[in-house]
Amino acid sequence: MAQVSLREVSKIFPGNVRAVDRVSLGVENKEFMVLVGPSGCGKSTTLRMVAGLEEISEGDIYIGNKKVNDVPAKDRDIAMVFQNYALYPHMTVFENMAFGLRLRRIHKPEIIQRVNEAADILGIRRLLDRKPKQLSGGERQRVAVGRAIVRKPMVFLFDEPLSNLDAKMRVQMRTEIHKLHLKLQTTIIYVTHDQVEAMTMGDRIAVMKDGILHQVSDPITTYDHPRNKFVAGFIGSPPMNFMRGKIAKKERRIYFEEGKIRVQLVEEMYPKLEPYAGKEVTFGIRSEDIYDKLFVSVAPPENIVRVKCEVYEPMGSEVYLYLNTGIHTFIARVGAHDRPKVNQEMDMVFDMSKVHFFDKESEEAIV
Ligand SMILES: Nc1ncnc2c1ncn2[C@@H]1O[C@H](COP(=O)(O)OP(=O)(O)OP(=O)(O)O)[C@@H](O)[C@H]1O
Ligand SMILES: [Mg+2]
């Protein structure tokens, strides 16, 4: 069993820099956990503490049922794949993959068998005699992963392994690592700053910012129910639209108001929003939850917002419309058949059952 558990783990660098701040995270056996967040939020430091490459300042880390705070990296039964693959340039692919096993004094026939097995899984058998400089970026990446696989570790740690690859190769390797996880059935902790990678690969996503863990949940829950404004804005592309405005209560109905905008809340949200009547909140709506009224058969009049289209961005299968309310600009993702002119006034419909509200001060989600 290889669950990994971080309990109130902190990393304090000299100068009192709290790079990781009391992070508690339980990664289950065979789970694919993605650690995601903007640059400098403490992802690599967290992973390096799990690997044993960085000392833990506070808290405890368990691998399996064993506390590993004082266990050296080489005895932790984990393998790490880094962003810069760090292959030995003078060795062949075979030798690169076999190197770690040799150090562990594993018998030659078993080394050959394990390297061949890993090479088959990764589809790089024909490359075994080449040197790293004779490989493409994607192939080098596979060799780096292969070097980790042959070790048969309890836990894999990946630190931005795809960031050196071009966009197309990244998508391809993304699926390959996904498949690899299904095949190997090991616990994986995967670090990335790319929220698309996080959404598509993770069983669960752990979202970090400034050393603090903000939310741990499966991708869809993270997308549909972000716990605060940061997670809401970080996960999803284009990012969630935010507008600052007021909650208003009139004749038993509750509205969100901002300049010319006035939309009515769905009744399920009343209990949570009623206490905010007369107060400012942050309203959030995803671009796909805004429709052009022309293409909506029944548009409730209380959900219609008049805007001006500033930019029209064709994406192929859909179009991004940059819309101005007079105060805010927001983005709507609509079908490719929708072709408003620039500076054209248009009526948009908000799907009010999908909107989010955040407390202005704490930025925590209200609903
Ligand atoms: N050895 C160190 N000494 C002092 N501060 C450090 C050290 N290593 C990292 N930091 C700081 O700790 C914070 C977290 O760094 P870390 O490398 O974990 O970020 P990250 O989330 O992996 O970012 P990136 O996406 O850019 O790789 C940063 O503010 C960084 O400047
Ligand atoms: Mg990093």
Q: Cβ distance 31 to 188 under 8 Å?
A: yes
Query: pLDDT tens for residues 79-97?
Result: 999 887 789 999 999 999 9
By alpha-carbon position, which residue is closest to atom 29 of ligand 1? 40
Taking Cα atoms as reference points, which of 346, 356, 300, 352 lies closest to residue 323? 346
Instruction: With cut-offs at 50, 70 and 90, classify the pLDDT of residue 121.
Output: confident
185: left (phi over 0), alpha (psi -120 to 50) or beta: left
Q: Which residues pair with residue 61 across a beta bridge?
A: 6
Chain centre to alpha carbon of residue 317: 24
SS3 360: coil
Instruction: Look at residues 123, 117, 118 and name the one whose alpha carbon lies nearest to residue 136.
Output: 123
Of all residues in the chain, the percent with pLDDT exceeding 70 is: 100
> For residue 141, what pLDDT is reported?
87
Whether 41 lines ligand 1, by a CB cut-off of 6 Å, is yes
Contacts of 55 (CB under 8 A, 6+ apart): 49
- Ligand 1, residue 45: give the atom nearest the CA: 18
Residue with tokens 């630190």: 159
Measure CA of the first residue to CA of the last residue in the chain; give whole Å.
37
Ligand nearest to the CA of 19: 1
pLDDT at 223 over 90: yes
Task: Name the closest-CA residue to atom 24, ligand 1.
Answer: 39
Ligand 1 atom closest to residue 46's alpha carbon, by position in its atom list? 18
Rounded average pLDDT over 15-30 = 97
Summary mean pLDDT of the chain: 94
241-359 is classed CATH 3.40.630.30: no
**For position 1, what pLDDT does the model report?**
65
322: β partners: 311, 331
- Tokens 């805004």: give the residue: 290
The closest ligand to the CA of 37 turns out to be 1
Domain with CATH 2.40.50.140 in the chain: 241-359
pLDDT at 315: 94
Query: What number does the ligand 1 atom closest to the CA of 20 have?
Result: 14
Q: What is the pLDDT of residue 184?
A: 87
Q: Establish whether residue 16 lines the binding site of ligand 1, counting it when its CB lies within 6 angstroms of any ligand atom.
A: no
Look at ligand 1, atom 14, and give the residue with the nearest C-alpha. Answer: 42
Q: What is the pLDDT of residue 176?
A: 85
Q: What is the pLDDT of residues 352-365, one digit of tens each?
A: 999 999 999 999 99
pLDDT above 90: residue 123: no
Of these ranges, 53-67, 142-156, 175-189, the one predicted with the greatest mean pLDDT is 53-67
Mean pLDDT over residues 133-160, rounded? 91
- The pLDDT of 130-143, averaged and rounded, is 91
What would the mean pLDDT of 238-257 be, rounded to a whole number?
A: 96
- Measured distance CA(25)–CA(20) in Å, rounded: 12
Question: Given a cut of 80, is residue 294 above it in pLDDT?
Answer: yes
Residue of minimum CA distance from atom 27 in ligand 1: 39
Predicted confidence (pLDDT) at residue 211 exceeds the cutoff of 70: yes
Minimum mean pLDDT among 15-24, 54-63, 173-182, 305-314: which range? 173-182
What's the average model confidence in pLDDT over 112-139? 92
CATH number of 4-234, picked from 1.10.101.10, 3.90.1150.10, 3.40.50.300, 3.90.45.10 = 3.40.50.300
* Mean pLDDT within 340-355: 94
Question: Which of the ligands is closest to the CA of residue 20?
Answer: 1
Specify the pLDDT at position 295: 92
Domain with CATH 3.40.50.300 in the chain: 4-234
